[in-house]
Structure 1
Amino acid sequence: LDIGEATRLGLNNLSNEENKQFFSDIRNIYSSITKELTRTLPLNNDLLRHLKCLHPMMRHSETSHISIMNIARSFPQMIVPDEIDRINAEWYLYQNENIPNEWYEKTNEYHAIDYYWKNIFTLKTNTGTDKFIALPKLIKCVLALSHGNADVERGFSENAFLLTDDRSLLSDASINGLRATRDGVKFFGNGKPHEVPITKALLDSVRGAHSRYCIDLEKRQQELLTNKNLVNEEKQNDFFIEKQNDLYDEQKCLHKNLTNIQKMIDEGTERLTSAISSKD
């Protein structure tokens, strides 16, 4: 194992046994880390393996066509069978296209993958129409996939910003509404509320906000009333069941007492009969 100079000097103060134990512990740590990475990383994810075909240098690879078809079949919600057939043909066109190196190479590094594909999608046919129709749809779906949990963590941070100590009772609908408003300001006004365009649809939505709130409030009250009735009905059913169980237990107790009394009567009758017979 390679160790730093400061660590090497520190090991000089340890005995041979302590040195062996130190390196053994280090190996165990690396082994545990490797096992955890092997368990958690998507090393066997077929989709990620096929995504390599989107790299410009993989365009002429023998497996790129198989990979792009597998990717297309991985998005049945977005890509219909007819589009898969079109992607099949368009990928052959893409492989035979004369693409300048400047679209993906720059000094000592590569351009971003979206920059490369943006240029690919600008290609036209001899008649001036787009050369690729279905392929851009698939590529955009793929590039829209999140490659980390930053968006999720950002969402938690925004929720923490909204849920202050004096706003801890906000409902899920209120939180979603506030989040939607913030996202709308970011999208339409670049984060500046005064730059959000005032449209007729926006004004109509604002005017109808109170009526929608009243309708929603009425629905909530109706749901609360319905839930309350269900709870009361369940309590009443539980009461009847408990009462029925009590009556059943009481019946069992009475039956047991009756059985004991009958045994006592039978035993007394038997003794009386025996006594009378003995007297005779």
Structure 2
Amino acid sequence: MSLRLRNINCKLAFCKTIADECQPFLQRFQTSKPMTPYLFEAVEKLLRYLMNRCVKPDLMKCTGPKLLSIDTKKSENLILSKNIDIGFATKRLLGETAITVTERQKLEFIHECRSMLTTMIAKLQEKSPLKQKAVRGLSSLDPCVIQHSPQLAQKRFSFLLEELNHANIINDVLAENAKKEYLHFCNLKKSELQEIFRPCDQFSDEVGLDTIYGSFLIGEANYKHLWEVIKICLVLSHGNATVEGGFSVNKSLLVENMHEKTVIAQRHIHDEIQEAGGIKNIHISKKMLDYVRGARKRYHEYLEMKKQERSEEDKKKAEKRKLDIQVKDLEGKRKKLMMATEEKREAIEVELQELKKKQASLY
């Protein structure tokens, strides 16, 4: 095998090692579920994994947003190139080149791997949601955080309420009441919390956090303010499966240029099918068949209505343009008239002053 081909195999093996770690993160968030509460922990985990391969261990003791302050472009923050973790497959392939590749060439290759890692880490740090206080606050809705670190969850929920309040999304009273109710929720017995979050599986699209929280909080007077805040937060879903599905590993269909009504209708249909337990459990009634038969007629009526609306809108725009021209023309005439009047006034004023001077000289 040629030196160049062996080098390519090593590079591909290293890239695959990194891609295999990033792929679960991309798959996990390629869903229609509300995923924002999981974002903080997931991004931190991914960033830490990459940094552990090349950053000095004593710098990796920090957590969360502090990881963003580690400058991977500075060599003093990095371990020696020969100690970089390039993965088992890459090490094995690199070892097989011992006869044809010198130690210097191996070190150059490992240095290239380190350069790739540091560039990737720098980009993640630059675009990282860990910078956002709201993302850290949203992690307070992560079931794992609530069950295993209730005090941390309460602190982060306070961050979240502050951000929502400062953005005028919630008022002071709602923030205070939601904070009290969240504290009460976190102080439930461990067995109760386990039962509430038992159906929750963050790696599946079966049950989302909206369903989990809704099934427990809806109708509960003791948690009505908390539910209001949670509803606002879960709308900020990081899931973008419909838009990104066409180029993701999930192989979902890419839907382009959908109008708002189409997106809403699609979501209603999806939710109804899920509620019924699958497409095979949908009852096809006579009313539904009649409605489907008339779909094309309603579609053409809708197109005609939109055509009329556009026509009326075009007429309004044309009328507006006409009025704008007339207004501009009259303003121009007024300006010219005022300038002419001002010139005449100044001429009269000059003549008057001269006459007054002559009059004064006669006394």
Could you say whether these structures have the same fold, taking a TM-score greater than 0.5 normalized by the shorter chain as the test?
Answer: yes
Give the whole-Å Cα distance in 1 for the aligned partners of 2:285 and 2:230.
31
Match of residue 270 from structure 2: 186
Match of residue 254 from structure 2: 157
The Cα of 1:46 is off from its aligned counterpart by 0.9
Is the counterpart of residue 81 in structure 1 residue 177 in structure 2?
no
The Cα of 1:134 is off from its aligned counterpart by 0.8
Pairing 1:39-58 to 2, within 5 Å after superposition:
39-54=126-141, 55-57=145-147
Report which structure shows greater RCO (CA 8 Å, sep ≥6).
Answer: 2
Give the whole-Å Cα distance in 1 for the aligned partners of 2:187 and 2:109.
58
Q: Which has the larger radius of gyration?
A: 1
Aligned length, in residue pairs: 210
SS of match in other structure, 2:122: helix
Give the whole-Å Cα distance in 2 for the aligned partners of 1:14 and 1:75.
58
2:309 to 210, 219, 237: 219
Identical residues among aligned pairs (%):
14
Give the whole-Å Cα distance in 1 for the aligned partners of 2:196 and 2:268.
34
Q: Residues 101-120 of structure 1, C-alpha deviation per residue, up to 9 Å, x if partnerless?
A: 632687xx985583764575
SS of match in other structure, 2:237: coil
Please report the TM-score for the alignment, with normalisation by the length of structure 2: 0.44
Give the whole-Å Cα distance in 2 for the aligned partners of 1:120 and 1:187.
19
Gapped runs of 5+ residues in structure 1? 161-171, 238-280
Alpha carbons of 1:51 and 1:5: their partners in 2 closer, same or farther (altered >3 Å)?
same
Q: Residues 85-140 of structure 1, C-alpha deviation per residue, up to 9 Å, x if partnerless?
A: 2113213322433241632687xx98558376457538x9xxxx632111122223
Pairing 1:1-280 to 2, within 5 Å after superposition:
1-2=84-85, 3-54=90-141, 55-57=145-147, 60-61=150-151, 63-75=152-164, 79-100=170-191, 102-103=194-195, 114=209, 117=213, 121=217, 130-154=221-245, 157-159=254-256, 175-176=259-260, 178-188=262-272, 195=284, 198=287, 214-225=304-315, 230=321
Q: Residues 160-190 of structure 1, C-alpha deviation per residue, up to 9 Å, x if partnerless?
A: 7xxxxxxxxxxx8xx5555555444434466
Alpha carbons of 1:181 and 1:151: their partners in 2 closer, same or farther (altered >3 Å)?
closer
Does the 8 Å CA contact 1:86/1:134 hold for their aligned counterparts? yes
Query: What CA RMSD, in Å, does the superposition of the two structures yield over aligned residues?
Result: 4.5
Please report the TM-score for the alignment, with normalisation by the length of structure 1: 0.55
